[in-house]
Structure 1
Amino acid sequence: MKVFSLCALVSLCTLTAATIYENGRERPTRFIDTKIASLGSNATAWSTYGPNATELSYKGRWDSQHISWWAAPGLKFAFTGENVAITFGPHTTNTVLVAYRVAGLDWQLSNITTNATHQFVSPSNPGLNATLPSQLPLTFELRVTNWAYGVQISAVHLAKNEKLIKVPEFSRRIEFIGDSLQSGYGATYEAFSGFGYTVGAGLGETEFSVTAYPGICLHDANCWGNPRGQTYQFFHTSDTSPRALALYNSTPPLYPFASQPTPTDLVIINIGTNDNNTANPVRGDSYYRSYLSFVPRVHETFPDAEIVLMGLWGNFVRQGNTWVQQAKFIDEVERVARELGEQGFPVSYFDTKGILQHGDIGPTFHPTDAGHIKVASHLMRYINIKFGWELKATGPEVQHETLYWNDQVNY
């Protein structure tokens, strides 16, 4: 069974076993059991690196204790030899699902145990391509698939006398800011299947961070159990999850943006669906004013970045003999983009109208995997045309387990 939450858009949820559905049918899941016994007496057979080793590259938001936050955070490094193991600390969410891969091979999935060591690469492990010369450095990449859960890196282990190698940062960087839509709520592998991750990984040779959490508003209000809105929370390291509240209470640390190895070139903002909901205490004028003040603060944080405001697509409702999209805050978002552009801010508006259709929205009122792919594909081409970004992905898998096809073509 897949382990992650499909709770409603309330951050105060519990970790539960859930099922992946494809067109209403349950998908069998066979995740690899990577947990091993403590290194114990075999510790001398390993070379161990601490979580602060300079060769380790942390992707997305992590704090000073090497705890991951927000959506699809990751870890990347290169290594020699044929063995890689990682010890996860006490602030790892028990059974959190992670994706990992070696070099450009397909992703593998495994549930992680708190305070345990997991061996992801061995000579017999499917994560290692035996046809590649083992003496060549290979890359290892790990991503947390969820948005509310996370891991804490305590140590990285390689075979004795093998080396950990730092992977150079890519030269371009994107910051995604959003809510459940960016973080992949309801998608097969949640943040790992969401359009935020899909754009960042799909562009290729791009660093990215998905600072998004389900249920959160832009306006600084309590929405679906999130105590603060993105106008406050974005500038802090942790998200609004129960584990963040348990660790930091109401005083999360500010995020050290200056510590990023490369400057941010592009910011994609898609937020407001939760503001535009009768369950939350936000009016259109409050949303507009918050957005109008939020974007200049984002610009101040990333002075070299272009900022794209995405139109909000909303849900589809039956009208007569068809389905009609209930777009949200269209006038407000367009107005913010127009007024800030007139003031000289590098802001543009990405209209999402017509990208999604009724069949692209799942039972959770969020995009299906196909819906996320459609949004990501249009947004990637927009970035390519608008800003001249080359599409550099050359083959490695982005969205996992979307290889659907028909083996009967004559019916």
Structure 2
Amino acid sequence: MAVELKFGDPLLRLHGRWDKDNTSWWAGSGFDIVASNLSSITVHCGDLNSKDLPVGVSINYAPYETRIFNTGSNTIPLPANLLDKKAVVRFAVEAWEFANLHLLSVVLNEGAKPEPYKPQKLKFQFIGDSHSSGQYCKRGVIDCFDWIVAEELKAEKDIQAQPGAALTDIECWGNVHGLSFQFFKTEDTRYYYNPKHNYVTDWDFSRDDPPTHIVLFVGANDGSERYNVPVLEFAETYKKFVDLLREKYYKDQPIFIFTNWGKFKETGALRTYYDNPSPYHAVQEHRAALGDKNVFVVDTHGWIGWSDLFADNGHCNEEGQKVVAKKFLDWLEQWGLKGEERWAALE
């Protein structure tokens, strides 16, 4: 008889954000399975599933391969050599909008023996906009610098990143709320356009494995020529946001605040924003005055060039994402962070 793991089964390890209807939100949300004697996996999705949803699937920590999920049964091809060893199969929604995987159950072959997933001790929480969601990349968030960094360090990750969203709670590029509001909700900022779920619910942070490190990369949309949020207003919003993170959820984890690297125009010319005065250093100084010595500014100036971008939209292309990942990994190494040596779930 086949082995069925229904949504909510402790052997079906969820990551990211999921609502009460068993539906995921935000790029990178997904689930993990560990099992021995594994020869088949079928994922059953409900009516709330986004049409032709791209989901990255990684088997035993090999590179992710994209599978398309729709309502109904979705069969995952598996290599034949899994029968004689433990297998870890990871699933992550690649899409940066309408990232709704409606998970009903996962069915394994008869004789499969699932077991609990062992998470890594190291875990990142990334908060950002298009630069952290992999917008326009072939595999979305899977190709993004934050995903690459976490994989390289053998770390878990949660990513709350939405293209076009400001940190300030304003309508911005079609997002009806900013991240200073939306981060605390289950749903991402595209909820407004979802006819099946156009409302928000508070996220229960007790559902998360607490992160060990937090990365904030925001301001590109606040500082855009169209919205142009004044630097002092942006800085005050940023301070209050970090204060709230510290007060309610993340007491003493290192927080890494990315500066902007500027915006490139069609000519390759660079327009900088929020540089003088720097709101990023203002946040760091504000927290330090409160006794918080664990907020660090990551200076990203000069990290990327025109060749690292998609020429028609100014976002990092796949190779540019690798450049950013390498720069941040080098920065983290100099800061003193070491990745884990092995994936615990395979042991």
TM-score w.r.t. the length of structure 2 is: 0.90
Letter in 2 for 1:181: H
Number of the residue aligned with 2:189 = 240
Number of the residue aligned with 1:34 = none
Shift of residue 337 of structure 1?
A: 2.0
How far apart, in 2, do the equivalents of 1:63 and 1:242 lie?
Answer: 12
Shift of residue 161 of structure 1?
A: 3.5
How far apart, in 2, do the equivalents of 1:202 and 1:117 lie?
Answer: 32
How far apart, in 2, do the equivalents of 1:113 and 1:73 lie?
Answer: 16
**Aligned mate of 1:328, from 270, 273, 285:** 273
**Aligned mate of 1:177, from 127, 132, 135:** 127
Alignment of 1:390-409 (within 5 A): 390=339, 392=341
Number of the residue aligned with 1:347 = 295
1:193 aligns with 2:143: yes
- Tell me how many residue pairs correspond in the alignment: 336
Alignment of 1:263-278 (within 5 A): 263-278=210-225
Structure (1 or 2) with the larger CA radius of gyration: 1
Number of the residue aligned with 1:309 = 257
Number of the residue aligned with 2:162 = 213
Shift of residue 173 of structure 1?
A: 1.4
How far apart, in 2, do the equivalents of 1:58 and 1:180 lie?
Answer: 24
Q: Which deviates more, 308-317 or 217-226?
A: 308-317
For residues 38-96 of structure 1, give each alpha carbon's deviation from its aligned partner in whole angstroms, at most 9, with x where no partner exists: xxxxxxx5222211110111122222322111111121111233111110111110101
Alignment of 1:88-99 (within 5 A): 88-99=45-56
**Aligned mate of 2:321, from 353, 365, 372:** 372
Per the alignment, do residues 244 and 52 of structure 1 end up closer, same or farther by CA in structure 2, a change over 3 Å counting? farther
Number of the residue aligned with 1:72 = 28
Partner-residue secondary structure (3-state), 2:291: coil
Structure 1 unaligned residues grouped into runs of 5+: 1-44, 122-126, 395-411
Per the alignment, do residues 224 and 199 of structure 1 end up closer, same or farther by CA in structure 2, a change over 3 Å counting? same
Shift of residue 238 of structure 1?
A: 0.8
Structure 2 unaligned residues grouped into runs of 5+: none
1:112 aligns with 2:69: yes
Q: Check conservation: 2:169, 2:181, Cα contact below 8 A.
A: yes
Segments ≥4 residues shifted beyond 4 Å: 242-245, 391-394
Q: Check conservation: 1:202, 1:393, Cα contact below 8 A.
A: no
Q: Check conservation: 1:222, 1:280, Cα contact below 8 A.
A: no
Letter in 1 for 2:332: I
1:53 aligns with 2:9: yes
What percent identity do the matched residue pairs reach?
22
Q: Check conservation: 1:179, 1:270, Cα contact below 8 A.
A: yes
For residues 337-362 of structure 1, give each alpha carbon's deviation from its aligned partner in whole angstroms, at most 9, with x where no partner exists: 23322332221100001110111111
What is the CA RMSD across the aligned residues, in angstroms? 2.0
How far apart, in 2, do the equivalents of 1:194 and 1:298 lie?
Answer: 24
Letter in 1 for 2:281: E
How far apart, in 1, do the equivalents of 2:116 and 2:251 lie?
Answer: 28
Partner-residue secondary structure (3-state), 1:340: helix
1:143 aligns with 2:58: no
Q: Check conservation: 1:216, 1:228, Cα contact below 8 A.
A: yes
Per the alignment, do residues 317 and 70 of structure 1 end up closer, same or farther by CA in structure 2, a change over 3 Å counting? same
